[in-house]
Amino acid sequence: MFSNICKLFFIFLMPVLFINAQEKKTIVFVGEIKQNIDPRTNRYTKLFLEKAKEKDVDIIIIELDTYGGAVNDADDIRTMILDYNKPIYVWINKDAASAGALISIACDSIYMSSGASIGAATVVTADGTAAPDKYQSYMRSIMRSTAEAKNRNPKIAEAMVDEDIQVDSISQEGKVITFSTIEAIENGFCEAELNSIEEILKRNNIENYKVERYELSSAENIISLFLNPIVSSILILLIIGGLYFELQTPGIGFPIMASIVALILYLTPYYLNGLAENWEIFLFLIGMILIVIEVFLIPGFGVAGIFGLALTFGSLMLLMLNNDVFDFTFVISKDILNASGSILIAVLGFGLLLFFGGIKFTESQAFKRIMLEDTQDLDKGYISKKYSDKLIGKNGKAMTILRPSGKITISDKIYDATTSGKYIEKNSKIIVLNNEGSTLKVKKS
């Protein structure tokens, strides 16, 4: 009986298992690094490897073409690659210079297209000159340790950084190593010259496979959109515009809410991409606090207000730049120009908004939809007057600064009051224009 069951198993179930085994495909996950190595690339790689781990792919291939970038971000990417527990191949589709060379050496296998190059890993500043030796020393160290981890010649890896390191018959005096595809193959820094993903898989005897390319999610694409300098300009304009209109018409709520939403949309993408540091956000908050203190507590507009504006706009600019606590050594001039341009466009836009739209804003249909237009008159039962109408026309003195609200005195009695226009300094003479229920409306006499 038992032998019959075994026969049935082999006859009916084994073919099914064999077919399933044959149908199982090797999942190949492909990502691209084709821009400067910076916090955005760092975050892209992190998300890419997280998705690969989630999908439990079999092989990862990074298609790489970069002239380099920030050392700290390259080091982060290198570490993520070294710590990953599945095979990672890199296909250098033209250039793997500087930080790109470091990332390539961290991979399990290096493949290069015809006409590609790898090397020239000297650390340079934003203007293209060699960085101080402390940066070169650090780069030499991580290049050496990465090459050792992947059984590649560590001395050659160091010579890609330092022109003073000589490697017999390979490096020229006074020049860092940069390998062509053929040279990289000869010296163990490339497995083969291949010109497509399919050729890489064929060389590794992988026939039954499925290639999947990593695509950023919709949320990540939206985050990338908000990193655009023009969009950043619009958000900065909404931040300062909302604050201004809230201060001019306190109690509305809509301008300050627009300002807060714009601030969140501005900060979040830069923070997620590693550009916005906690100390930069702290500087922004300090700047805003100083502006509020200037507006509500200190007469005139002086040091606190100017310093607050400088901190606010300065921090908004710093948030866009990959600086290391005011160290702009590796911040490229293009990024500085983009950040400066975003701030300038926002300020000019705010000036135009005030000049052309400040008055008409309160008369627009959009404004009327969020504002109560009906007057809450006493004869309709809406409000009760706190003060007598006999005070209208009376003269008095500002007991506090009116910005626009404050205290006044008339015949040595204290009253709540608001100005009809400009702020009124303490001890200025005033005249009562109207009785608005809970406050007296006054102007400077």
Q: What is the CATH number of the domain that holds 435?
A: 2.40.50.140
Quote the mean pLDDT of the chain.
81
Question: Do the domain assignments include residue 177?
Answer: yes
- The CA distance from 441 to 435, in Å, is 6
Residues 236 and 351 placed together within one structural domain of the fold? yes
Backbone angle region of 119, left / alpha / beta, with phi > 0 → left and psi within -120 to 50 → alpha: left
Question: Do the domain assignments include residue 12?
Answer: no
pLDDT at residue 145 greater than cutoff 70: yes
Cβ pair 113, 124 in contact under 8 A: no
pLDDT at residue 6 greater than cutoff 60: no
- The CA distance from 109 to 150, in Å, is 9
- How far CA 323 is from CA of 86, 308, 441, in Å, comes to 34, 21, 51
Residues 247 and 177 placed together within one structural domain of the fold? no
Range of the domain at 418: 378-444
User: Domain boundary at 196, 215, 234, which?
Assistant: 215
Q: Report the domain count for the chain.
A: 3
Question: Do the domain assignments include residue 14?
Answer: no
Question: Do the domain assignments include residue 190?
Answer: yes
Question: Do the domain assignments include residue 5?
Answer: no
- The CA distance from 433 to 206, in Å, is 88
Question: Do the domain assignments include residue 266?
Answer: yes
Q: Which amino acid, 130?
A: A
- The CA distance from 445 to 442, in Å, is 9
CATH number (domain holding residue 121)? 3.90.226.10
pLDDT at residue 16 greater than cutoff 50: no
Residues 150 and 284 placed together within one structural domain of the fold? no
Residues 225 and 278 placed together within one structural domain of the fold? yes
Confidence band for 18, pLDDT divided at 50, 70 and 90: very low
Question: Do the domain assignments include residue 8?
Answer: no
Confidence band for 301, pLDDT divided at 50, 70 and 90: low
- The CA distance from 263 to 128, in Å, is 35
Residues 186 and 229 placed together within one structural domain of the fold? no
Residues 38 and 108 placed together within one structural domain of the fold? yes
- pLDDT (0 to 100) of residue 222: 78
Lowest mean pLDDT, pick from 196-200, 267-271, 322-326, 335-339: 322-326
- pLDDT (0 to 100) of residue 157: 94
Question: Do the domain assignments include residue 10?
Answer: no
- pLDDT (0 to 100) of residue 15: 53
- The CA distance from 183 to 194, in Å, is 14
End-to-end CA distance of the chain: 115
- pLDDT (0 to 100) of residue 320: 80
Residues 224 and 207 placed together within one structural domain of the fold? no
Other C-beta atoms lying within 10 Å of the C-beta of residue 177:
27
- pLDDT (0 to 100) of residue 117: 95
Residues 140 and 269 placed together within one structural domain of the fold? no
Confidence band for 21, pLDDT divided at 50, 70 and 90: very low
- The CA distance from 372 to 383, in Å, is 15
Residues 224 and 324 placed together within one structural domain of the fold? yes
- pLDDT (0 to 100) of residue 17: 45
Instruction: Tell me the two tokens of residue 90.
Output: 């890199």
User: Domain boundary at 158, 183, 215, which?
Assistant: 215
Lowest mean pLDDT, pick from 127-141, 150-164, 332-346, 361-375: 361-375
pTM: 0.66
Lowest mean pLDDT, pick from 32-46, 183-197, 329-343: 329-343
Contacts of 135 (CB under 8 A, 6+ apart): 71, 123, 329
Contacts of 42 (CB under 8 A, 6+ apart): 73, 76, 77, 273, 274
- Out of 138-142, 167-171, 389-393, the most confident range is 138-142
Cross-strand partners of 193: 112
Residues 306 and 421 placed together within one structural domain of the fold? no
User: Domain boundary at 308, 338, 370, which?
Assistant: 370
Residues 54 and 173 placed together within one structural domain of the fold? yes
Q: 225 or 201, which is more confident?
A: 201
- pLDDT (0 to 100) of residue 277: 81
pLDDT at residue 233 greater than cutoff 70: yes
Confidence band for 362, pLDDT divided at 50, 70 and 90: low
Residues 93 and 206 placed together within one structural domain of the fold? yes
